[in-house]
Structure 1
Amino acid sequence: MFAYYLQLGLRSLRRNPMLTALMVMAVGFGVAASMITWSVFRAVSGDPIPGKSSQLYTVLVDNRGPQYNDNGEPPEALTYTDATALVAAHKAAHQTLFFNVAPSVLPEGNQSLPFIADGYATNADFFNMFEVPFEYGGAWRAGDDDGRAAVAVISHELNQQLFNGANSVGREITMDRHSYRIVGVTAHWDPKPRFYDLFSHNAFGDPVQLYLPFTRAIDVAMDTSGRNNCGSNTDFGVGREAWLHGECVWVPVWVELPDPAAATGYREFLTHYAAEQQRAGRFHWAPNVRLRGVNDWLDYERVVPPESRISLMVALGFFAICMVNTIGLLLAKFMRRAAEIGVRRALGAPRREIYRQFLIEAAAVGLAGGVLGLLLTALGMFGVGLLFEPEIARLAHLDLSLVATTLLVAIAATVLAAFYPTWRAAQVQPAWQLKSN
């Protein structure tokens, strides 16, 4: 019966090509507008590290005092003093600290020119905590952090640029006139948003190219290329050491805690640490600390652009208007077939068969509208840059999940829209139609 009703539905669509075209266009344009904006919204609002986001926390300690804070919130990163002290305490199962670096990389060969590569100075725990995949080799060892070893991990993209994609583990790379031994090459890894580096506004930045030990970067006086927030303090002291041990915040710290009980214990440790700094005379205010999980951190930093929410709401409103028009068109189409319905009912067809026939016909309209919507969605991807910043617009793409979602939404919405017209059609009285015809 399904095939028979589908055949009847297709015949009915061909009998009224103009009405059918209007319905297909209404569904297609409505679903395309929704899917284009949805593709952007899902890219910026999804969980960047599913399965582990509930175990990762960023650590904040107030080193300025309430008079300089925004609504009582501490700065969004830590000082070098606090970051290294907290990591050295080893109160979490895994913990990492890092800062942005942009060293000059000298490729092999006399004809190559140096270039700037973006990366992080971090520790060995970084790779395990954030589930960084490797193509060759792996992360350096914890002993390399303690020994300030001249080692490095490079990305798949940088490996392609420097070594044509070959296994480069064990080879040397020159950065800022210092040689580093490559111990690992990551596979392509670019979580969006980049939840762990919101402090330097890199939520949607280009992929990271390299990593080197935090301790080594400090030893060779590698400057941070990221944000350096000194608040209202304009007296940085004299020389690098004064700045390094001053009160400027520039080092994000993350910890991995397996359960809420461990998070509670670590928060108490942070409070005790801040109280110790208060007793030592460094802080002159009550302990003010924060321990935020990945999703809380994304919400606090307002990572999802407001224009993505607004555009999604507008697109959904447009889609709703299109479906209201579709309801009217389906009602007109179905009620024009009252005589046919009356004859079928007089011959013994129950109302549920009328429902099946017309809902299957509506599904065919939805499928056609979904195909049109896919074409319009693919075209619309080229215009996303007119609404969003380039680094956000490039995240929108038409993949298999979006194709499936587009078709399912189109069919489901059209079938739902057809319930009222189908109900009206099923209420046709056979006697009236037979008498009047």
Structure 2
Amino acid sequence: MFGYYLDLALRSLKRNKILTALMVLAIALGIGASMTTLTVLHVLSGDPLPGSSGTLFYPQLDPRDMDGYEPAKPPPEQVTWIDGMNLLRSKRADRQALMTGGAVPVQPAQSSLDPFYSDARYTSSDFFAMFQVPFLYGRGWSEADDNSKSRVVVISRTLNDKLFGGKDSTGQTLRMKDTAFRIVGVLDSWRPNPHFYDLNMGNYSASEDVFVPLSTSRDVRFEHNGSTDCWGTGGGSDEHAETQPCVWLQFWVQLDSATKVAAYKEYLTHYAQEQKTLGRFERPVNVRLPGLMAWLDINKVVPGDVRLQTWLAFGFLLVCLVNTVGLMLAKFLRRSGELGVRRALGASKREVFSQLLVESGVIGLAGGFGGLLLAFLGLWLVRRQPSDYAALAHLDASMLLITFLLALGSSLLAGLLPAWRACQITPALQLKSQ
């Protein structure tokens, strides 16, 4: 019967081309607007490490003095060098990574390339395993390299393509700030969204091109260009950042069970109490251990205007559906005579209702195709915007499926009332009027 209803639907739609075009256009406009904004929201609010984000946590301590103290104020979003190194060396987590961002002057061996600056990540050896960073060639460095301040480096695929033509460059030398570094690994394409491990560098910025041990970066005095918050006598030259009362490092831990999470939270509390006893911490103990997704929520990573635009777009879709309901109602009631004849020939209300819903579904699918084209256009316009997340606005397979499901579901919903009203026609009255 479905094939028969489909044939009837296509015939009916062809007979009223203008009305059909208006209904399809109304659905397409609503679907196009809502899917454009929903896709952007989907990209920006996604899990940067699916399957692993539940084991990653961001320890927070409050080492500041009493100046400006507020009881309910959260701890700083970063840690000092002293606290970061203490937590790192304690090895109380399954994995831990201490890091900051910067920029390094790269001096290519090729005479055809001028020196340039590349974004860099100064971190510890667990970074790559903890964040599941994919490697194209080689591997990350070891803890021994961290401790010995080895001149080793991991580079991105983009930088490897630029300097070495995409070949395996492990073992090659890369000069940065007049210092020779041995390349031990080349990353495969990797851009977690958001840039969760250091939001100070931009919520949706691209991943760095150069990764070196944190200890090495301090030894060769690589430039640190992340956020720094100091108090008391802190501030001034970056050369003495290790001893200054300033927070400027990010610290992440991996805890593979709820028991370990509770134990690590207790360890942080004991550590803060110990530092307070030593006189380093002045404020009451204030430690927190948010998970990765909670950390993104705390920092309100998804722009508020994106959420607002999504709600407005779905409001526009609702308006389009109301218009579609009116158009369908007019179309179905104009066919009262045809439907009355079908009823008189033995068709039940249920069969007529099914026929009209199939017709609504065909309109929805046509509107879905139109909405998909409009969504592609909308996302193309989004990618032209000067936002750090603009380049991420692409329709993936899941959103493609949602587009058609939303179009089909919306049209069927819009067709319920018109189909029900059309089924209430009394066959005898319609036959008498013929």
> Do they superpose with TM above 0.5?
yes
Same amino acid, percent of matched pairs? 44
1:206 to partner: Cα distance: 2.5
Partner SS, residue 182 of structure 2? strand
Q: C-alpha separation between the residues in 2 aligned to 1:346 and 1:238? A: 92
Q: Calculate the aligned-residue CA RMSD, in Å.
A: 1.6
Match of 2:19 in 1: 19
Q: How does 1:197-212 map to 2 (within 5 A)?
A: 197-198=198-199, 200-212=200-212
Q: C-alpha separation between the residues in 2 aligned to 1:347 and 1:235? A: 91
Partner SS, residue 429 of structure 2? helix
Amino acid at match of 1:207: S
**Kindly tell me: are residues 37 and 54 of structure 1, through their superposed partners in 2, closer, same or farther at Cα, counting changes over 3 Å?**
same
Stretch of structure 1 that moved more, 79-88 or 284-293 = 284-293
Amino acid at match of 2:409: A
Match of 2:361 in 1: 363
Amino acid at match of 1:176: K
- 8 Å CA contact 2:62, 2:283 repeated in 1: no
- 8 Å CA contact 1:66, 1:72 repeated in 2: no
Match of 1:377 in 2: 375
1:143 to partner: Cα distance: 1.8
Match of 2:87 in 1: 86
Q: C-alpha separation between the residues in 1 aligned to 2:8 and 2:371? A: 24
Q: C-alpha separation between the residues in 2 aligned to 1:310 and 1:66? A: 39
Match of 1:165 in 2: 166
- 8 Å CA contact 2:79, 2:250 repeated in 1: yes
- Stretches of structure 2 lacking an aligned partner (at least 5 in a row): none
Q: State yes or no: 1:220 paired with 2:224.
A: no
- 8 Å CA contact 1:65, 1:284 repeated in 2: yes
Q: State yes or no: 1:407 paired with 2:404.
A: yes
Match of 1:292 in 2: 290
Match of 1:121 in 2: 122
- 8 Å CA contact 1:153, 1:183 repeated in 2: yes
Amino acid at match of 2:132: E
Amino acid at match of 1:54: G
- 8 Å CA contact 1:59, 1:252 repeated in 2: no
Match of 1:349 in 2: 347
**Kindly tell me: are residues 299 and 239 of structure 1, through their superposed partners in 2, closer, same or farther at Cα, counting changes over 3 Å?**
closer
Match of 1:28 in 2: 28
Match of 1:392 in 2: 389
Amino acid at match of 1:37: T
Task: Kindly provide the CA deviation profile for residues 35-81 of structure 1, in whole angstroms up to 9, marking residues without a partner as x.
Answer: 11111111111111111111100111101146435741111000000
Partner SS, residue 223 of structure 2? coil
- Stretches of structure 1 lacking an aligned partner (at least 5 in a row): none
**Kindly tell me: are residues 186 and 237 of structure 1, through their superposed partners in 2, closer, same or farther at Cα, counting changes over 3 Å?**
closer
- 8 Å CA contact 1:69, 1:75 repeated in 2: no
- 8 Å CA contact 1:153, 1:186 repeated in 2: yes
Stretch of structure 1 that moved more, 111-120 or 296-305 = 111-120
Partner SS, residue 162 of structure 2? helix
1:403 to partner: Cα distance: 2.6
- 8 Å CA contact 1:107, 1:173 repeated in 2: yes
Task: Kindly provide the CA deviation profile for residues 339-387 of structure 1, in whole angstroms up to 9, marking residues without a partner as x.
Answer: 111111111112221122111111111111111111211222232268x
Q: State yes or no: 1:76 paired with 2:74.
A: no
- 8 Å CA contact 2:234, 2:244 repeated in 1: no
Amino acid at match of 1:427: Q
Q: C-alpha separation between the residues in 2 aligned to 1:360 and 1:134? A: 51
- 8 Å CA contact 1:229, 1:248 repeated in 2: yes
1:201 to partner: Cα distance: 4.0
1:136 to partner: Cα distance: 0.9
Match of 1:143 in 2: 144
**Kindly tell me: are residues 347 and 185 of structure 1, through their superposed partners in 2, closer, same or farther at Cα, counting changes over 3 Å?**
same
Match of 2:305 in 1: 307
Q: How does 1:207-356 map to 2 (within 5 A)?
A: 207-230=207-230, 232-233=231-232, 235-236=234-235, 240-241=239-240, 243-356=241-354
Match of 2:46 in 1: 46
- What TM-score, normalized to structure 1? 0.95
Partner SS, residue 60 of structure 1? coil
Match of 1:421 in 2: 418
Q: How many correspondences in the alignment? A: 433
